[in-house]
Amino acid sequence: MTQAFRLTTRGEREALRSIRMVCSSGLDSVALREEVCRIVKTVIASDACLLIATDPDTGLFTHGWVDGLPDSLARTLITELHEQEIAEHLYLARSGLTTSSRNSGFALQSLRAEGLECRARTTITLEDDVWGAWSIFREKDRPFTEKELRFLRMAAPHIGRGMRSASRLEPRTRSSEISSGSSPGVLVLDECRQTSLRTGPAAAHLRDLATIGVSRDLLPYAVMSVITQLGPRNCYSSASANPTLRAQGSSGEWYTLRASLAEPDSSGMCASITVIEPTSRSGESESAWRHYGLTPREREVVRLVLDGLSTKQIAARLHLSAYTVQDHLTNACEKVDVRGRHALLAKLYGAGYRPEPASSPLAGTKRT
């Protein structure tokens, strides 16, 4: 798609060349995002920038880098509009649009309140995987031109390649703080998402996962992504999943986050419990996806199975029929050459899952 556009100025060509070089230079994720935003500023004027790393398997936000964004607006985008922001970027990815300057609803009101009414979104995709979500902000009466959006579309695949490479780097030398916090940490949030309990290791992990460039008291993107998957926080909720997410901190260290709901209190509301555990670097699932040739939708379904969702819950989440979800699982089992959900997860993730018993609906399922 990028070959369909031509850069019209020498400055644009030099900027794109610089982005290509930076994205192939082996920078870590934080340094890469900082350098990319610096280069883009030479051809696209901006008042603030937000570049978020995402989990390529799900598109969920995992780590933020901010330049010039007011804390109040960052708080709104990270907490109040978290799910809407993810949905907007996934829409761009799935529709093939890559960029958009459209803003509406509460998001537009929030931007106007901070004097940053104009916003250009870019979804960073590479080979059907979503590696980042990028927003550039400007004051009102300075809308983004089609020429500027075209440049962002051309830069996006190079940035995606750079972010994929960054995800495969070994962590930098550990600080004493990260080393001392190498044990799993526990974070408990009340129904208003205020911290009610935080262990020592969790505090260290949260600092490493924190969005760069904003107040450290904001919840990291990775925590928000995993707890919003829990659904409503009351005793009437039917959500029974225990969502899981991998995220990379500023240090390059990888973490696995697992969220669950506590027992309801006297008012029927549930606190959320998030376990944050240092883990091996990401890439295991990605290489497995590539090796077995699972489609993006099959990968999405398998990830939801890993999170503990039933077939009906997956169907509701993805707006599919239960039969279609079953077909995706059957296809995935065929490609991986296993029988049953647990055997599928064990082969893809190496997590020690045992095969399902023969009575399982998926066990032995094969297409003819």
DSSP string across 177-229: HHHHT-S-EEEEE-TTS-EEEE-HHHHHHHHHHSPBTS-TTSPPHHHHHHHHT
If DSSP codes are grouped into helix, strand and coil, which group holds residue 331?
helix
Round the average pLDDT of the chain to a whole number and report it: 85
Does the CA dihedral 18-21-25-27 come out positive or negative?
A: positive
If DSSP codes are grouped into helix, strand and coil, which group holds residue 123?
strand
Confidence at residue 232, expressed as pLDDT on a 0 to 100 scale:
65
Span 187-192, average pLDDT? 92
Confidence at residue 231, expressed as pLDDT on a 0 to 100 scale:
72
pLDDT for 173 beyond 90? no
- Per-residue pLDDT band at 279 (split at 50, 70, 90): confident
Domains recognised in the chain with CATH numbers: 2-167 (3.30.450.40), 178-279 (3.30.450.20), 284-349 (1.10.10.10)
Confidence at residue 344, expressed as pLDDT on a 0 to 100 scale:
85
Residue of higher predicted confidence among 211 and 263:
211
CA 306 vs CA 61, 260, 297: distances in Å: 18, 14, 14
Please state the length of the chain: 368
Are residues 173 and 193 in contact, defined by beta-carbon separation less than 8 angstroms?
no
pLDDT for 169 beyond 90? no
- Per-residue pLDDT band at 287 (split at 50, 70, 90): low
* Pure H helices in the chain: 10-23, 29-40, 71-75, 82-95, 105-113, 146-167, 176-180, 200-209, 221-228, 284-292, 296-306, 311-318, 322-336, 341-349
Q: Quick one: how many helices (H) and strands (E) in the chain?
A: 14, 10
If DSSP codes are grouped into helix, strand and coil, which group holds residue 10?
helix
> What span, in angstroms and rounded, lies between the C-alpha atoms of 89 and 130?
9
pLDDT for 272 beyond 90? yes
pLDDT for 289 beyond 90? no
> What span, in angstroms and rounded, lies between the C-alpha atoms of 288 and 126?
17
Strand 195-198 relative to strand 185-189: parallel, antiparallel, unpaired? antiparallel
Confidence at residue 241, expressed as pLDDT on a 0 to 100 scale:
63
Structural tokens at position 102: 């459209």
Residue that the structure tokens 């296993």 belong to: 338
Confidence at residue 345, expressed as pLDDT on a 0 to 100 scale:
81
pLDDT for 266 beyond 90? no
Confidence at residue 354, expressed as pLDDT on a 0 to 100 scale:
36
pLDDT tens digits, one per residue of 117-136: 999 999 999 888 899 999 99
Are residues 198 and 187 in contact, defined by beta-carbon separation less than 8 angstroms?
yes
Cβ neighbours of residue 273 closer than 8 Å, sequence gap 6 or more = 186, 187, 188, 259, 260, 261, 262
Span 142-155, average pLDDT? 95
Are residues 293 and 207 in contact, defined by beta-carbon separation less than 8 angstroms?
no
Determine which of 32-41, 91-100, 304-313, 330-339 has the lowest per-residue pLDDT on average.
304-313
Residue that the structure tokens 């996934």 belong to: 90
Structural tokens at position 90: 């996934």
Residue of higher predicted confidence among 175 and 256:
256
pLDDT tens digits, one per residue of 9-54: 889 999 999 999 999 999 999 999 999 999 999 999 999 999 999 9
> What span, in angstroms and rounded, lies between the C-alpha atoms of 169 and 179?
18
Span 263-284, average pLDDT? 81
pLDDT for 1 beyond 60? no
Confidence at residue 295, expressed as pLDDT on a 0 to 100 scale:
85
Q: Other CB atoms closer than 10 Å to residue 87's CB: what's the count? A: 12
Span 69-93, average pLDDT? 93
Structural tokens at position 260: 């669950």
> What span, in angstroms and rounded, lies between the C-alpha atoms of 322 and 310?
10
pLDDT tens digits, one per residue of 195-240: 999 999 999 999 999 999 998 889 999 999 999 988 765 555 555 4
Confidence at residue 44, expressed as pLDDT on a 0 to 100 scale:
97
Q: Which of these, 50, 108, 125, 114, lies nearest to 296 by C-alpha position?
A: 125
